[in-house]
Structure 1
Amino acid sequence: MNTQFKKGVLELLVLVLLDRKDCYGYEMVDEISKNISISEGTIYPLLKRLKKEKMVSSYLKESQDGPPRKYYKITDLGKEKKEELVAEWDEFAIGVNNLVHDKLMDNLGDIKDE
């Protein structure tokens, strides 16, 4: 998948996941990777920025599998941003799908006319 597509939607995906539940970094990578291939290194700079912008906060939680893990939690500001991004995504996806499928239908019409 195109890297620019992923980069543009990653913030939305992280905020959506954190709105569902608090997560640690690798857990987010694992969840997102079920649908879109991403590397672990792409998420941490984003989390750092979101924390700086006060859209997420973090805390340490003991782990049964090793050292404590840093969990991220969405803030009220992050929830507002998530809602804004979801609305933008919905509008964008509808526009893209309309163009893609209209073009597909035009191509099918051209084939039938031949």
Structure 2
Amino acid sequence: MKKLISTSKAPAAIGPYSQANFANGILYISGQIPLNSETGKLVEGIEKETHQVMKNLEAILTEAGMTFKNVVKATIFLKNMDDFAVMNDIYASYLDQESFPARETVQVSCLPKNVDIEISMIAHQF
């Protein structure tokens, strides 16, 4: 059985999708962009953008009763791979240093609202 996960502490979906779906102990989180749910505005600059995306992901995980320790897989989309090192340090600072999730990072030509980063995650309820 699928359960929709939604929180006002992360941006509302801007299309026909859910913030996250929980099914069979697995949480599938849709790609998050650096939109501040309190102000409704995008943050700018890869450092601020990465922090905002991670905060959005954390809010959804919390709503589902999970933390970053539950994350088993992440997918990161960057508009510019030159931002990788900055993004990677900030991303790592939010995660359990003992058990990083599996991950891929790819450069793409364009992202929703022309942001520089989008991250989606899969978490498992242990």
State the structure with bigger RCO (CA 8 A, min sep 6), 1 or 2. 2
Q: Which has the higher helix share?
A: 1
Q: Which has the higher strand share?
A: 2
| Larger Rg, first or second structure (1 or 2) | 1
